[in-house]
Structure 1
Amino acid sequence: MEPEAGGPMTVGPPSGRQRRRLALAGVPGLVAKGRDFTRRALRDWGWAETETSEDTLLVVSELLTNASLHAHGCRELVLTADATSLRIEVHDGMTTLPVPSRAPQRGVPGSRGLFIVERLSDCWGTHTYEAGKAVWAEIAASRLA
């Protein structure tokens, strides 16, 4: 786990903008590794042990699981934090955009991932690039403090 700029990691609320990246292509147990990576970042930034930090871990789990199940795997998890928000991005190798279900149906498994992401984050979306896409979610820093 290294900051993007290559300098030392800081501990405490993000001053300026901080980015952490975790490569996950071909990594077994990537959901658990992504959650652990996120948990450490939240702790370092002073955003651990709150209800919203637990929600954040669930958002990470859902985004990683969706990439694994529907986009042939996850390439990278990127966390970007500043004084206003935490942005979670999961990169995969497909340009096909996810289509959220209207609302999950009782008793029918699946189709809840993006519904959960939408409910727990302040906003979410996607962006494509040549080799794939990123599905992202943002959570206000004020909710994490």
Structure 2
Amino acid sequence: MNTRRQERSGRWHRRVGRADLTAVPEVRRAVRALVGQWGEPGSADVAELLVSELVTNALLHTEEGALVTATVAPARLRVEVRDFAPGLPEPRVAVADESAHGRGLFLVENLADAWGVQAYPAGKVVWFELDGGQT
């Protein structure tokens, strides 16, 4: 990983190098550490799984690295993964015969409280949010 920064505001950034799949476990651990005891029981597990899926997708399906940003507030966790490849991802229903492929966005769509894709002239941001259970 090229850049590592955690701020007091509950925001964390990391640049992940092109095709650096060894960075995925590091990103998961960092998000878990940021989230800590936040949210409902199991929230850290879901956040870890979903950030892992988005970072892996960005590294496998693009020619560039990715920028990962996580922001935690009392009521919400937001994670964004930006890549620099054209085209928007489309969730698809995973087929049992397809091994482990095709499940990433399906998991995000079904486990996140909100998610989406924001297109930019150079790439996109795929994001998800989890509610913290606090009002």
Give the TM-score taking structure 2 as reference length: 0.83
Any runs of at least 4 consecutive aligned residues in structure 1 with deviations exceeding 6 A, and if so which? none
Contact 1:76 1:92 in 2 (8 A): yes
Q: Does 1:79 align with 2:70?
A: yes
> Could you say what secondary structure the match of 2:97 adopts?
coil
Q: Deviations over 1:85-122 (max 9, x none)?
A: 10110011113100111x21122221111001111101
> Could you say what secondary structure the match of 1:138 adopts?
strand
Q: Does 1:52 align with 2:43?
A: yes
Residue identity over aligned pairs, in percent, reads 33
Q: Does 1:36 align with 2:40?
A: no
Could you tell me which runs of 5 or more consecutive residues in structure 1 were left unpaired when the two chains were aligned: 4-8, 10-16
2:87 equivalent among 85, 92, 96: 96
Instruction: Supply the RMSD in Å over aligned alpha carbons.
Output: 2.1
State the Cα distance separating 1:83 from its structure 2 match. Answer: 2.4
Could you tell me which runs of 5 or more consecutive residues in structure 2 were left unpaired when the two chains were aligned: none
State the Cα distance separating 1:20 from its structure 2 match. Answer: 1.4
Partner Cα distance (2:133, 2:15) in 1:
28
Equivalent position of 1:13 in the other structure: none
Partner Cα distance (1:52, 1:2) in 2:
20
Q: Does 1:2 align with 2:27?
A: no
Partner Cα distance (2:59, 2:40) in 1:
27
Contact 1:19 1:81 in 2 (8 A): yes
Contact 2:78 2:130 in 1 (8 A): yes
Q: 1:65 to 1:28 in 2, by over 3 A?
A: closer
Q: Deviations over 1:17-64 (max 9, x none)?
A: 632111213456121121121111112xx3289322111100011001
Equivalent position of 1:70 in the other structure: 61
Deviates more, 1:69-78 or 1:118-127: 69-78
Partner Cα distance (1:48, 1:74) in 2:
30
In the TM superposition, 1:114-125 aligns within 5 A as 114-125=105-116
Give the TM-score taking structure 1 as reference length: 0.78
Q: Does 1:19 align with 2:11?
A: yes
1:136 equivalent among 101, 123, 127: 127
